[in-house]
Amino acid sequence: LTQYRKDVDDEVGESVNQINRILDGIAELNKSIVRTELGGTSSRVANDLRDQRGELVKELYEYMDVDVVEEDNGSFIVSLHGRNMVYYDQVDKVVNQKVMSADGLMVNMPSFSSDLYPLRPTNGQLAAQIEMRDEIIQSYKDDIDTLAGNFIWEFNRAYTQTRGLESFSSLTYTNGPLDSTVTLDLPPIHI
């Protein structure tokens, strides 16, 4: 599960690269559309550029839940939760900030490049990858830890309920208990 979490984290990094490619493309097409329409070039050329930009916006929607507003000059403003990602030809790129997760794994935290504020998308592929990495896989790990702890407790409880015909006067062990005053028939403590 830890390896799978790392693999999903790599997917988060790749998604960020694709998002930046799309944002750059939208910004370039914004600039070209405004120049074309102001320069009096044929409307067919401007429409082709608008179609290309529309396809990039659709692709961006697959990654995250952005808002798109068309300006009077024909350019798009692309924002996520009120934060501009594309404004005319200016792009606030997404960076992968490395942060330590609760279980000690260094993970990618997609953030705005301007101030490193986390993106926090609520829909789309990037949101799903982050949820899988940080919540779903971690939940599976916690369930397995609980199962293992309960198994150990039941196993130890079963073997401490009886004793042999003769009691031991002393025991020697290699790996001792963390607390020698706790009996083996108590349930495990989960922290």
Query: For residue 16, which of 133, 112, 131 has the smallest C-alpha distance?
Result: 112
At 72, give phi and psi (nearest 5°).
-60, -30
DSSP for 18-40, written as a single string: HHHHHHHHHHHHHHHHHHHHHTT
User: How deeply is 74 buried, as exposed, middle or buried, from its count of CB atoms within 10 A (0-12, 13-18, 19+)?
Assistant: middle
What confidence score (pLDDT) does residue 176 get? 66
Q: Mean pLDDT in each 10-residue stretch from start to end of the chain (191 residues)?
A: 94 97 98 87 83 97 96 95 95 95 90 95 96 93 91 82 68 69 61 51
Residue 121 tokens, joined = 């998308």
Query: For residue 189, which of 153, 144, 140, 142 has the smallest C-alpha distance?
Result: 153
pTM of the predicted protein model: 0.77
What confidence score (pLDDT) does residue 163 get? 63
Tell me how far apart the alpha carbons of residues 106 and 130 are, in angstroms, rounded to a whole number: 13
What confidence score (pLDDT) does residue 180 get? 67
